Amino acid sequence: MYPVLETERILLRPFVDNDYTDVFNMVQTYDRQNEKKQFQHIKTLEDARKLNDGTIKSGNEWIILHKPEQTAIGWLLCANVGSVDIRKKAFIHMWINEEYQNNGYGQEILKKLLDFIFYGIHTEAVLANARNCEKAAYRILSTNNFKIYNYVPKNNPEWPDTLVQFRMTKETYYSNHPKAECEYNYTPPEKKKSPYGYSHPIRKIDSIQYRKQPTGYLCGQAVVAMLADVSVDKVIDVMQNDKGTSTPVLKAALSYYGIKTATKTRVKYIPGAALPDCCILSLKMPGYGHWSLYYKGTYYDPEFGVSEILPFNAILCDYWEIIL
């Protein structure tokens, strides 16, 4: 978990449970006041907790507090890119409530963040995105020596909704801030060395022992635990994550145990099609996304138990075949 960072007007501290209520209130207010709805996927407080679009990742974010009022005004993300060590590449994302924009807070926060990233974590490169229509974000990145390296889509760089991808290297930052100092020397958790591999996996999967997820966020860890036949706590230790899991994090955990997938990415499920003998399922539940497991005709769901059918109200979106 990151340390508390502080500027003249802003306090950045790691999320605590009550902060998600503030996030929910902020995004609901924003969408009510703006014609272009940015947070349609956040309809409940539980959606704000999960934020499974990746905006907030456990342990990689700060809530942004306005010091004079101790009011939450946004959030700040600094995460690794996929399974790449954060000391190689870091991705940042900042969202500030509209009421507090155009007051220099973004510049103030970004300066503190970059000092921490380049002088505290010693990251080699920082990535950030802004759409052409997001003029404040575009401007703040451009004026702080970030360089454009890609457009999505590539064939329409001038379109207002085109995503502009920015990058800054440590050499660029050091040359412009040669005397910058950071009071923190942050060391990211080291990736655990695996004793397994695809040629010598942790086990041959010929049965599944059911494991229930201990909390509402540990479905991914529980699925990997069932496949590897280890405890959920051991998978948490391997993932170094006790919250929701993204596809890259899940893939890295499978790789650690030598569990091989048939494809590099998930496969979209066609309704009515037969599933492979063993596969991880990506389900859409009312209000949240969910990982589950299918093995030879039986669903081993970390939240809902063992059944011959999908959980009630579940929509099967994608699957990821496990090679037995």
Q: Which of 129, 77, 117, 75 is nearest to 100 (CA)?
A: 75
Residue 22 and residue 102 share a domain: yes
Model confidence pLDDT, tens digit, residues 102-124: 899 999 999 999 999 999 899 99
* pLDDT at 36 (0 to 100): 63
The dihedral sign for the CA sequence 293, 299, 304, 310: positive
Model confidence pLDDT, tens digit, residues 233-257: 999 888 877 767 777 788 889 999 9
Q: Which residues pair with 79 in a beta bridge?
A: 91
Residue 247 and residue 137 share a domain: no
* Residue pointed to by tokens 């860890």: 221
Mean pLDDT of 279-290: 89
Mark which of 141, 176, 211 sits at the end of a domain: 176
pTM value surpassing 0.85 = no
Residue 254 and residue 146 share a domain: no
Model confidence pLDDT, tens digit, residues 29-81: 766 766 665 666 677 766 666 554 344 445 688 889 999 888 889 889 898 88
Domain count, the chain: 2
Domain boundaries, position 19:
5-176
Q: What is the CATH number of the domain that holds 148?
A: 3.40.630.30
Mean pLDDT of 5-21: 84
Residue 82 and residue 150 share a domain: yes
The three-state (H, E, C) secondary structure of the chain, written as one string? CCCCEECCCEEEEECCCCHHHHHHHHHHHHHHHCCCCCCCCCCCHHHHHHCCCCCCCCCCEEEEEECCCCEEEEEEEEEECCCCCCCCEEEEEEEECHHHCCCCHHHHHHHHHHHHHHHHHCCCEEEEEEECCCHHHHHHHHCCCCEEEEEECCCCCCCCCCEEEEEEEHHHHHHHCCCCCCCCCCCCCCCCCCCCECCECCCCCCCCCCCCCCCCCCHHHHHHHHHHCCCHHHHHHHHCCCCCCCHHHHHHHHHHCCCCECCCCCEECCCCCCCCCEEEEEEEECCEEEEEEEECCEEEECCCEEECCCCCCCEEEEEEEECC
Decide if 20 is inside a domain. yes
* pLDDT at 56 (0 to 100): 47
Model confidence pLDDT, tens digit, residues 137-146: 999 999 999 9
